[in-house]
Structure 1
């Protein structure tokens, strides 16, 4: 049987009596168009409904989460510098020098390193201008990890946070572990990690 390819536009009545425009295309057979009240029309010549009663639908609104940057916290570097001062006071220069250097390094990093939590990922950036931090010096790859790749994370210790740990599968499928000194506001850091990466086994900072 010969077939024909037809294209037409028809005005149909919706259940509330409004006219709706329908674009039809097809090749053989008969087509019945119906609504809640029953059959509206019968068409001959095989039509396929391309669009019908789809007008007026609202698109879903996607709300993005705000970017969060925890404030710097100098308690950890000050603690190291205080310990170094105590060691120096007792003439233990062998211990005071490395501890003091760690304290100075953490103090400098506290003023320049930023944890930036955007809508989909945690990224390490540098300075007030939030410049790119480049590739990770230890494991390679960009210092940006999607929350969906996080396997687990911890904050040690909540009352006086020293280290934040997390494991992600973005760097490598079997999982990559990261440790960072907590040179940020521990409460802000914990709250945003819970919100974006899910709960941790540790309790929240007091």
Structure 2
């Protein structure tokens, strides 16, 4: 109490010193307010940096950019051509050359195609390419058009038979509106083929590996 009265008396007896003290206190108060505003602004900026783009886009009513799916190329599988050649060999061993010849040629064709034909599954379409460099396969020799079909045009697809896949079938509306059917021998890894078909084109209606 005595100290407070002494300070007040000192300020009253020396107005210049009192005015200087008042300005000093005011300056410190102003500096404190500026620091508080600056800290709040800094925290606000750092807060926005920590928010993921998807969350900001969601708050603003925008859709976040979709991430493209990786390209999948099922590995070649030689079981089918070897099995066909084995059947041809059986007929030849039984002296049934009439059956052995065409089956043997089919087996050789499948063996050759296994070394070069690739199914390429990109983000939005299935495309048939050739060679390890994945070169263009040209137009489809049976129905015309490019050997590339968007998953969104697939009506249905099947894999026969899951335990030892021989044929893959799919129907699409890209080639013609009423639907175009395609059959391909399964000269690829059947499990990889099935998994990527389910992921990109949706579940098959009747086929599924056990």
TM-score, scaled to structure 1: 0.71
Which residue number in structure 2 is paired with residue 140 of structure 1? Answer: 144
Corresponding residue to 2:97 among 93, 97, 108: 93
Matched, 1:158 2:169: no
Looking at secondary structure, tell me which structure has more helix per residue. 2
Q: Distance in 2 between matches of 1:153 and 1:59?
A: 31
Q: Contact conserved, 2:156 with 2:205, CA < 8 A, in 1?
A: no
Tell me the alpha carbon deviations over residues 138-189 of structure 1, each in whole angstroms, 9 at most, x when there is no partner.
Answer: 0000000000000000000000000000000000000000000000000000
Aligned length: 154
The 2-side partners of 1:100 and 1:80 are apart by 7
Of 174, 177, 181, the residue aligned with 1:177 is 181
Mind listing any 5+ residue stretches in structure 1 that lack a counterpart?
1-16, 19-55
Distance 1:146 1:61 in 2: 20
Distance in 1 (CA, whole Å) between partners of 2:179 and 2:207 is 24
1:12-31 to structure 2, matched below 5 A, reads none
Higher relative contact order (CA 8 A, sep 6+): 2
Structure number with larger C-alpha Rg: 2
Aligned to 1:117: 121
Q: Alignment partner of 1:72: what SS? A: coil
- In 1, the alpha carbon distance for the partners of 2:80 and 2:63 equals 48
User: Gaps (5+ residues) in structure 2?
Assistant: 1-39, 42-58
Counterpart for residue 71 of structure 2: 67
